[in-house]
Structure 1
């Protein structure tokens, strides 16, 4: 391969990484603003999160186009091909995280009453944990650091455990007083969005490991969300 072709290919990869860094920065800000908007019931800030989602979608499309064009022009192999394929996968996960941040922000418009401090504190804490996972995994991707990615991958257990706790607490509030059902349902969706963001961060972690080592992680994913199989005391089967 000539020096000219190598240089051109390196420039293509650099452009892909620049676009991904830009996309990651927007998504990080979306998530930060979505958490604040929900906590403060700030509909103006929530609308900004919703509007920014168009930028994320556009960048994902541009990254896909750039990646496909690079494959067609350069016909990369081995690690070079993994770089491009992983870039497409990371962009897809970032787009989904942006969607989840947008959906969380939308809840702000649906909540009119004062949020119980204890309940909101748990959801906010989940949001900050998801934020930390996202920041760390983006740093790991920028550095191609598989060890750092593995730390994020394992830390998702903590986010799942907190989600299980919040899920039970919100159900208790709804069972104690039916007037809490609407509010708690919106908070449940917000908490679930944060849990799903953690899942997308672990997706990115697995792709970083694949990029660096050329093979998938041998360990099973540390998934600790048990809410789908949780039985609620006091509910008859016909209620479920």
Structure 2
């Protein structure tokens, strides 16, 4: 058997790239679960379950650190070029976006705890459609990442406009409610922040979609990430 006929073996580089994708997929699953639970606990004003969301955020943070350390190893060991370099860079940006999603879910949970302590549900229904839309975008974009599906990623970018419209609608509803006599203003203020967090989750899903397009040979996406202090 000549050297060209030897059975193919997965290189350490291939293994590292696969490990990176696996970490991103794990982070995506955890982030989606956190957002889903945040929606559920908000609807029920379940303070105990909301506190569990806050505690679980550390899992996402640990995966982010692992992914960043792996990227350093990939750059130092393999010096990737062309599409491999784009793949690693895009994965790092996706990791950052997912960590932000986890932070937003955690902050929604924290505000839910405060609302439960106030025994004021305010107008929770006003943000229900917004939350569902943000969760759907996150689910769809992680499916696009798994499948390397550029068309599906593009559909996520397009769908973000509907979430923005729902955000404007929800914010207007909450603002009007706060202006009514005897309104639970503190609770409604928490809901306004929660609405913004859901809108930011959708923005991060859009960021991930653009990184999928970049990894598959597209142009470098415009900077859309929210400021580092855009969490509470």
Deviations, residues 80-137 of structure 1 (Å, cap 9, x unaligned): 0011111110000000000000000001221132425xx3223122111111000000
Aligned length: 217
Write the distance in 1 (CA, Å) between the matches of 2:196 and 2:182. Answer: 21
The unaligned stretches of length 5 or more in structure 1 are: 222-240
Shift of 1:38: 1.1
Q: Does 1:198 align with 2:202?
A: yes
Give the alignment partner of residue 141 of structure 2, picking from 133, 137, 144: 137
Q: Does 1:157 align with 2:161?
A: yes
Contact 1:79–1:214 under 8 Å retained in 2: no
Write the distance in 2 (CA, Å) between the matches of 1:14 and 1:6. Answer: 10
TM superposition score normalised by structure 2 = 0.88
Write the distance in 1 (CA, Å) between the matches of 2:184 and 2:173. Answer: 12
Write the distance in 1 (CA, Å) between the matches of 2:177 and 2:68. Answer: 45
Structure 2 partner of 1:12: 16
Structure 1 partner of 2:190: 186
Write the distance in 2 (CA, Å) between the matches of 1:14 and 1:55. Answer: 20
SS in 2 for 1:49: helix
Contact 1:153–1:205 under 8 Å retained in 2: yes
Deviations, residues 143-186 of structure 1 (Å, cap 9, x unaligned): 11111001000100000001101111111111122542111101
Kindly report structure 1 stretches of 4+ aligned residues shifted beyond 3 Å.
Answer: 2-6
Structure 2 partner of 1:69: 73
Write the distance in 2 (CA, Å) between the matches of 1:124 and 1:214. Answer: 34
Write the distance in 2 (CA, Å) between the matches of 1:77 and 1:101. Answer: 35
Give the alignment partner of residue 121 of structure 2, picking from 115, 118, 126: 115
Structure 1 partner of 2:228: none
- Kindly report the root-mean-square deviation, in angstroms, between the aligned alpha carbons of the 2 structures: 2.0
Structure 1 partner of 2:230: none
SS in 1 for 2:216: helix
Write the distance in 1 (CA, Å) between the matches of 2:185 and 2:152. Answer: 40
The unaligned stretches of length 5 or more in structure 2 are: 225-232
Deviations, residues 174-224 of structure 1 (Å, cap 9, x unaligned): 112254211110111111000000110111111111111241359x98xxx
Contact 1:152–1:202 under 8 Å retained in 2: yes
Shift of 1:60: 0.3
Q: Does 1:81 align with 2:85?
A: yes
TM superposition score normalised by structure 1 = 0.85
Structure 1 partner of 2:101: 97
Structure 2 partner of 1:225: none
Contact 1:27–1:94 under 8 Å retained in 2: yes
Structure 1 partner of 2:130: 126
